[in-house]
């Protein structure tokens, strides 16, 4: 039954009795680290993001990636410190809500849900789009990408509904396959072009337009790491989450940073340090693989396919758990807080998250058909567009979390407060978030990117309005925010 004070605008909180919980302690540090890196999807992210980054940052794009890795590590400090103090499947929602109160918790829940679903819609579309690209390249068959998207998404959902251990293991397997391919191709390319190797990609002077070019390329480099926060949402199912979530975050960010630098160096070297030619390529890394490995370049395509599957599973798995926890605590409708009685998986949250992502793809595609051009939607273009809009909302959540960390420790754990970990690093991390936010939202961008900032502002205002009304109708919400700790008995 609803909590006292609940009304039409107030979704009920957890059911009477003990709240529904996920299966605790079934994942180890290696499991959640692998799932985190699978969520990052290095092959998918690098294949479709590096050309734009290289044309923006120039030959020294690997240096821009290194700077982005440092920035993400600063964000990782915030997530690790919060998880050490209050591990929760709610992740950022819980952290912000515990610091600033229930209105901020509901607002963050809506921003995170909308942002992650929009961003994941791009991943869902590109999964089928990359299959279409691969089949057409090798066989000439050109089946519509939406068919492959529906098949692969259905497969991913089935794995997730079978249980977190099964789905996380498969995400890890897919990640291992893509990393093996990426490393082999990169090393082969560097060996092939060993006579032309140069230190130029690591010289600040080779960044286009100096600091301006670094700043412009920085948000693109940061986006390569989106998904780094995956492990926090798996805290309830992780053994010793207070320790292992932070370890998984930092190890994942370190491995991804070194890996991306290797892939970037191999790609710019494979193109003879010609960023114009690199920017004109649809998938530069694939072209390098074709030139280096010939027929064996099929492995690079295979790496892209396993990457999209890994991101589908790992991304929806973790992000749906944010929605689940919000439903369990009454921030969102309690429908999302349902757990399968046997497998202990948040089925309603997973299925709804995926269904809404598919509806976004359908709506975006309809807009293309009815728009001025009247043509079908390109999944690669949609991936870039939806990822950008989703990233703006997600960065707002990151920003709130960084601001919250020092306040949380000063208020609730003053004896553990440390100036460097809880004040200095979050402050620098806040600046690191503001840079990509500015470049994603600055005026003068081409359509549809020019209206994304307004869509983000409208979403934020609507979320605050809904949260304010909800908290007024349900004062008990303040007590439920973050009430379920991951390692509680």
**Residue 234 contacts residue 318 (beta carbons within 8 Å):** yes
pTM of the complete model? 0.89
* pLDDT by residue, tens only, the chain of 489 residues: 333 333 334 344 444 456 688 988 999 999 999 999 999 999 999 998 899 899 888 999 999 999 999 999 999 999 999 999 999 988 999 999 999 999 999 999 999 999 999 999 999 999 999 999 999 988 998 899 999 999 999 999 999 999 999 999 999 999 999 999 999 999 999 999 999 899 999 999 888 888 777 887 888 898 899 899 999 999 999 999 999 999 999 999 999 999 999 999 999 999 999 999 998 888 899 999 998 888 778 889 999 999 999 999 999 999 999 999 999 988 999 999 999 999 999 999 999 999 999 999 999 988 888 877 777 889 988 998 998 899 999 999 999 999 999 999 999 999 999 999 999 999 999 998 998 898 888 888 888 899 999 999 999 999 999 999 999 999 888 888 887 887 754
Whole-angstrom distance, CA of residue 177 vs CA of residue 255: 15
Nearest to 383 by CA among 27, 21, 49, 148: 49
Q: How far is CA 225 from the centre of its chain?
A: 7
Q: Which residues pair with 238 in a beta bridge?
A: 27
The interaxial angle of helices 284-293 and 42-57, nearest 10 deg, is: 100
Nearest to 110 by CA among 419, 364, 456: 456
**CA–CA distances in Å: residue 432 to residues 149, 189, 218, 464:** 34, 33, 9, 25
pLDDT of 488 reads 57
Whole-angstrom distance, CA of residue 118 vs CA of residue 123: 9
Q: Which residues pair with 27 in a beta bridge?
A: 238
Pair of tokens at residue 400:
């709130």
Whole-angstrom distance, CA of residue 77 vs CA of residue 399: 13
Residues 6+ apart with CB under 8 A from 194: none
Burial (CB < 10 A; 0-12, 13-18, 19+), residue 84, is middle
Pair of tokens at residue 158:
């089935």
**CA–CA distances in Å: residue 438 to residues 71, 196, 432, 441:** 15, 37, 11, 5
pLDDT of 484 reads 80
Whole-angstrom distance, CA of residue 320 vs CA of residue 233: 9
pLDDT of 9 reads 41
**Residue 300 contacts residue 285 (beta carbons within 8 Å):** yes
**CA–CA distances in Å: residue 275 to residues 64, 194, 271, 381:** 14, 19, 7, 20
**Residue 310 contacts residue 123 (beta carbons within 8 Å):** no
pLDDT of 292 reads 87
pLDDT of 444 reads 87
Q: How far is CA 263 from the centre of its chain?
A: 20
Whole-angstrom distance, CA of residue 275 vs CA of residue 61: 10
**CA–CA distances in Å: residue 340 to residues 107, 124, 163, 356:** 27, 24, 9, 20
pLDDT of 155 reads 94
Nearest to 322 by CA among 3, 108, 35, 57: 108
- Residue listed under structure tokens 């070194």: 258
**Residue 51 contacts residue 278 (beta carbons within 8 Å):** yes
Whole-angstrom distance, CA of residue 306 vs CA of residue 322: 25
């Amino acid at each position: 039954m609803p909590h006292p004070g609940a009304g039409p605008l107030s979704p009920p909180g957890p059911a009477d009795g003990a709240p529904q919980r996920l299966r605790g302690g079934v994942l180890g540090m290696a499991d959640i680290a692998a799932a985190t890196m699978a969520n990052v999807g290095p092959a998918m992210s690098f294949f479709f993001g590096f050309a734009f980054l290289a044309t923006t940052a120039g030959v020294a794009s690997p240096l821009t990636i290194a700077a982005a890795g440092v920035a993400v590590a600063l964000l990782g400090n915030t997530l690790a410190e919060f998880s050490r103090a209050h591990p929760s499947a709610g992740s950022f929602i819980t952290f912000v809500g515990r610091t600033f109160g229930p209105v901020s918790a509901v607002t963050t829940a809506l921003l995170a849900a909308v942002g992650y679903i929009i961003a994941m819609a791009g991943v869902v579309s590109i999964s089928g789009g990359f299959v279409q690209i691969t089949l057409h390249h090798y066989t000439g068959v050109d089946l519509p990408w939406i068919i492959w998207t529906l098949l692969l998404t259905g497969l991913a959902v089935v794995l997730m509904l079978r249980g977190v251990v099964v789905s996380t293991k498969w995400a890890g397997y897919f990640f291992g396959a893509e990393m093996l391919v990426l490393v082999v191709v990169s090393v082969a390319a560097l060996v092939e072009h060993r006579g032309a190797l140069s230190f130029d990609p690591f010289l600040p002077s080779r960044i286009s337009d100096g600091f301006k070019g670094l700043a412009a390329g920085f948000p693109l480099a940061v986006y390569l790491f989106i998904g780094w926060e995956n492990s926090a949402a798996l805290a309830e199912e992780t053994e010793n989450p207070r320790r292992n979530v932070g370890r998984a975050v930092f190890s994942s960010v370190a491995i991804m940073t070194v890996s991306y630098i290797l892939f970037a160096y191999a790609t710019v070297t494979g193109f003879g340090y010609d960023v114009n030619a690199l920017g004109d390529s649809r998938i530069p890394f694939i072209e390098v693989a074709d030139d280096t490995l010939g027929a064996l370049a099929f492995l690079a395509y295979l790496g892209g396919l396993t990457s999209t599957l890994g991101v589908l599973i790992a991304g929806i798995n973790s992000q749906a758990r944010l929605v689940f926890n919000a439903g369990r605590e009454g921030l969102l409708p309690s429908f999302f807080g349902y757990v399968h009685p046997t497998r202990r998986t948040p089925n309603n949250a997973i299925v709804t998250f995926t269904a809404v992502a598919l509806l976004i793809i359908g709506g975006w595609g309809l807009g293309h058909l009815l728009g001025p051009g009247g043509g079908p939607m390109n999944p690669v273009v949609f991936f870039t567009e939806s990822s950008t809009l989703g990233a703006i909302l997600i960065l707002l959540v990151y920003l709130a979390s960084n601001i919250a960390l020092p306040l949380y420790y000063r208020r609730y754990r003053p004896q553990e407060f440390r100036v460097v970990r809880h004040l200095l690093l979050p402050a620098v991390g806040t600046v690191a978030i503001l840079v990509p936010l500015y470049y994603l939202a600055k005026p003068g961008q081409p359509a549809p990117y020019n209206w994304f900032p307004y869509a983000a502002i409208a979403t934020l205002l609507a979320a605050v309005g809904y949260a304010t009304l909800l908290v007024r109708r349900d004062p008990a919400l303040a007590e439920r925010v973050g009430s379920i700790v991951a390692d509680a008995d």
